[in-house]
Structure 1
């Protein structure tokens, strides 16, 4: 989806068809099945769409689509899963329909109830642009959790918007420069948090938000139709009061309904299966509602420390799915890296973008839609920091700060190889719930949080990669993102809930969902997320007492109970493993020449975005094996690779 509003006449209306065609062509991967545009020349409003046909494959689903009375025209990316029940309700109100698409139902709902009330009824993932011919207003909307992206902003006197930045860049009026102020945020978090983007004047529309701008005006207004903050507070004030088994059954029922709606498609459908709790529970519920084996897909690596594929294989065998597995080679992974800046559009440095793109490409060779288990960690307490950080703080608070600083210095200077050698010996002696992979990374994190002065210091440290990015960036001051703006936080009962809330509204949409959307869409694959794009699941999860999520060192307790009704516990009761890749060794080996070129002192000094000395120090430490600086370096490398792909634009 893309478009622009040129009501100050920066271009001739005769140029509009060529401009919008170029804009939609840049996002052909998001919709290879059909394309279209709509122009209102008097207002200077142009909407464009690419279509990945999922429901109603006929021409009646063509976009942009106008309402029968001509008042509303919409360009839309995503799916509204409750469109069938909405359609029945609208038919009882007198509406008739030409086809069977959810787009047509959305327009009828907007016509019947107005934009704000209609969007509150939509259950799904979506980003849309809507022109109201009667009111002469343009409205942009994004789904509640931020599954689907939407960028917007004024550039060169034209109001631009679209699903990806590349479509805005292709407009001839695009003049925005790189926003240096967001570089510290990027180095710290490995993504650029909303509402910021890499370009000055271009923003990400926040989840659950509507933006409205009137013809002939420059000022726009944004307001929330759904707020995670308000939803969390409402749920916390009305906690689930049933017993444990009632809670498990209630969650299972909600997930059954959410998954069932997301299995509606007129094209082949499957699921990502990692073998972890989230994806396994989702696939189990899919298979329980399917008369044929569900198609499942997983990715593994040749390095066994990073290969979790055997867990997925075991779950697939128990559930009886039609399972496809790819063991990615070095060559496959390394060949993908030069394409990352093209698909991620702005600097993005979550290394799991690599396996996510590989599994998306694998999956698209077999199906057009894949369900994904994202969101389980944020909703049900899956990240180790939710149990680890509070326990650590309770122990640290009684230790003298000087002693903690000394211990941090000692641990921080231990070579990664030495740590791994020692822990390989000790591993069999550790309690099962304390066994981990990649011990050196854990020790490094411990060293970094030991000097914390309060619980939030631990959390902020854990989610920060470059701890002081101001020392690395030139001429940039760090803006205040939501994750550090305590004035915008809800008052929650404890530190763990606070971490879970912040991850829900920052890390989840800006990292996890961005990663999945760009990777899947690059392969023209629609990824659906039943834990997240059904707000009823999100709201129910927040109404649960913490004791149903976290028990001692056991995370996601209630989701494990749901999964345990389908799969033996021994298949999923193990330490959490991330979707990791061996970037540390690749940077010392097959990626070394590529990285050396991007991190050269001359290059860094000439571009002027980063100070060469601290970057080169990190690089040399990493090459020597004295420190594992893979994530800090990957952030700089992804910016440099993106900048090179942009032609070195300043």
Structure 2
């Protein structure tokens, strides 16, 4: 796992040494991604520069140093990631007689040999792994940027400057691009509106105008004189196509055969991801996904696997006890750390630097804490992320489909009238009514009936199941009205949505999550948290072979009798007793609502102060102030809406510091 950066275009550089000094600064900004080694390469005649920061995982020798040149001399690469089947690819190359000799045993060298033999896309078709790289082709005079199929590794790029002095700049994180002398850094108000809706900024957008995220499964090929044309990425792997092909070619075996094949494939995938020349472990929450990963790791390990979890004393937020029970049963070498609210909140000032652009999934806090804990003992950690999207684990999938089945039977005008009636009564009055009306008492269990009803009113006017799902996963429902001068741009969930007509509503939700929520929220959260402490994370459930296999499975082995991830659980129950796993899904969060009313109030007050919001000029301060007052009074729980604004405000403050 590493960090990469670079540029294409003469821009403002004057000579090789000047260009190298600029590259050094770009690479230094992402040094936590690669503390073990660094390297630069510049071709002054063309105006191309590549920079690399290395976290040594496989082949710790100087033979793994980057930028690396291919044996033919044609290609130069900076690369971030792991190709888990690179030994198999080497055997194919050896059998073909296309490689005269090997200098080391790094997967970077294997990639370059593949490019020489089969070309870029021919090599990527053979690769199993996670990666982002920049490849200069001396023969064709082209720069190719590439990102792995599911988007585990990040890559930003964009053109800065005008005319012949424009440069393409790129890097693993925005902080590298900000060090380039031509970086302009105009905040994109449209992107802020996306943040307010999703709590992340979805690809291809970033917080800055003209700076983009390369979408997962894409290549971008640029020539030195392409500044004006600004070519677009092209896909070499498509999740919608995988889903479409999978549904046309369903697995014909019975449930037992499917579970056997799934277990075999999981063992193969996890076994490949356990290969490293440095200490390796796994995150363990005690849930289905992480427990499955750890169980199959331990089944293939010669010694106890290192596992890590953090716990909170707050009721409803502590999974450590469940993780401990699973670890004890499997016999892992388990480390847990209970974190006080004060220790968790101490992370908040670091978030703008860790996440580099505004990002407001509040589980970023425990994710960082468990990454920091693991890095004290290992350099690589496997994670259970992706299981919900791949194997239909989120209850919101079935809940949305069921809700639409009922809502669609009611004419839309009547539903809108009902929503208006609900909103006409304040949440506080609904809560009071629940005490006296027997029909509302059951619905009020858990508190905040009024809050729940007002949220439900927001989706009653939905025109389709897709519209309903969008409403349910949105924070601010009209973010372009909240952000001054903004227009919400199309995303994979709206105007850029891929064709998924052949899928059921539940399958469409799964597919949309896999092309947006998964890479832009979940994988971003894990990558930035882990790499800020120089920890490599690997995500076995997102091996593309496993994803393609899962899309060929009949839906009733993923969702059976209302139970999601059925087939995956059957594999797990061969290693861990069902009683240790079966419990309500808890998630990986923090008590954000009470923190904002208590220990974080002064911090939030300062960032949400009316005069400050007016001066900054990004938000409709009246809407924010209203939600802040309602939240502080306990009238409504607006924690997630407010956290979106607070994370932008904190990020902006950090940029100005």
By how many angstroms is 1:2 displaced? 3.1
| Alpha carbons 1:408, 1:451 under 8 Å: kept | no
Counterpart of 2:311 in 1: which secondary structure?
strand
User: Is 1:401–2:415 an aligned residue pair?
Assistant: yes
Match of 2:355 among 344, 347, 352: 344
User: Is 1:582–2:584 an aligned residue pair?
Assistant: no
| Alpha carbons 1:139, 1:212 under 8 Å: kept | yes
User: Is 1:477–2:499 an aligned residue pair?
Assistant: no
User: Is 1:617–2:620 an aligned residue pair?
Assistant: no
User: Is 1:142–2:147 an aligned residue pair?
Assistant: yes
Against the structure 1 CA distance between its residues 504 and 407, is the aligned structure 2 distance closer, same or farther, given a 3 Å change threshold? farther
Match of 1:413 among 427, 450, 460: 427
By how many angstroms is 1:558 displaced? 0.8
Q: Deviations over 1:292-348 (max 9, x none)?
A: 111111111120221111111111111111111111111211110000000111110
By how many angstroms is 1:221 displaced? 4.1
Against the structure 1 CA distance between its residues 445 and 568, is the aligned structure 2 distance closer, same or farther, given a 3 Å change threshold? farther
Name the structure 2 match of 1:84: 87
Hey, what's the Cα distance between the residues in 2 that align with 1:415 and 1:106?
64
Name the structure 2 match of 1:313: 324
Hey, what's the Cα distance between the residues in 2 that align with 1:4 and 1:113?
25
| Alpha carbons 2:280, 2:379 under 8 Å: kept | yes
Hey, what's the Cα distance between the residues in 2 that align with 1:27 and 1:441?
42
Q: Deviations over 1:3-54 (max 9, x none)?
A: 3334344211230111111111111100111111111111111101111100
Name the structure 2 match of 1:488: 498
Name the structure 1 match of 2:215: 206
Q: Deviations over 1:76-127 (max 9, x none)?
A: 0010000000011111222121111111001001110001111111110000
TM-score (normalizing by structure 1): 0.95
Name whichever of 560-569 and 448-457 sits farther off: 448-457
| Alpha carbons 1:416, 1:626 under 8 Å: kept | no
Match of 1:33 among 33, 36, 50: 36
Name the structure 2 match of 1:119: 124
Hey, what's the Cα distance between the residues in 1 that align with 2:656 and 2:582?
48
Name the structure 1 match of 2:9: 7
Counterpart of 1:264 in 2: which secondary structure?
coil
Alignment of 1:450-461 (within 5 A): 450-461=460-471
Q: Deviations over 1:433-462 (max 9, x none)?
A: x99899887666444333433212220111
Gaps of 5+ in 1: none
Hey, what's the Cα distance between the residues in 1 that align with 2:433 and 2:258?
42
Match of 1:525 among 522, 532, 535: 535
Q: Deviations over 1:450-500 (max 9, x none)?
A: 343321222011110001112211011111111012762222331111101
Counterpart of 1:531 in 2: which secondary structure?
helix
Counterpart of 2:590 in 1: which secondary structure?
coil
User: Is 1:302–2:313 an aligned residue pair?
Assistant: yes
Match of 1:132 among 112, 137, 140: 137
| Alpha carbons 1:182, 1:478 under 8 Å: kept | yes
Counterpart of 2:409 in 1: which secondary structure?
coil
Against the structure 1 CA distance between its residues 558 and 440, is the aligned structure 2 distance closer, same or farther, given a 3 Å change threshold? farther
Hey, what's the Cα distance between the residues in 2 that align with 1:232 and 1:201?
31
By how many angstroms is 1:223 displaced? 1.2
Counterpart of 1:212 in 2: which secondary structure?
strand
Alignment of 1:349-360 (within 5 A): 349-360=360-371
Match of 1:605 among 603, 614, 622: 614
Hey, what's the Cα distance between the residues in 1 that align with 2:532 and 2:425?
41
Name whichever of 42-51 and 442-451 sits farther off: 442-451
Q: Deviations over 1:363-387 (max 9, x none)?
A: 0001000000010000111111111
Hey, what's the Cα distance between the residues in 1 that align with 2:446 and 2:567?
23
Name the structure 1 match of 2:205: 196
Against the structure 1 CA distance between its residues 196 and 412, is the aligned structure 2 distance closer, same or farther, given a 3 Å change threshold? farther
User: Is 1:97–2:102 an aligned residue pair?
Assistant: yes
Aligned length: 640
| Alpha carbons 1:415, 1:626 under 8 Å: kept | no
Alignment of 1:250-649 (within 5 A): 250-399=261-410, 400-401=414-415, 404-405=418-419, 408-409=422-423, 413-414=427-428, 445-485=455-495, 488-532=498-542, 534-647=543-656
Hey, what's the Cα distance between the residues in 1 that align with 2:330 and 2:649?
44
| Alpha carbons 1:357, 1:520 under 8 Å: kept | yes
User: Is 1:57–2:60 an aligned residue pair?
Assistant: yes
Gaps of 5+ in 2: none
TM-score (normalizing by structure 2): 0.94
Against the structure 1 CA distance between its residues 141 and 420, is the aligned structure 2 distance closer, same or farther, given a 3 Å change threshold? farther
| Alpha carbons 2:270, 2:296 under 8 Å: kept | yes
Name whichever of 497-506 and 224-233 sits farther off: 224-233
Counterpart of 1:135 in 2: which secondary structure?
coil
Q: CA RMSD in A?
A: 2.3
| Alpha carbons 1:137, 1:214 under 8 Å: kept | yes
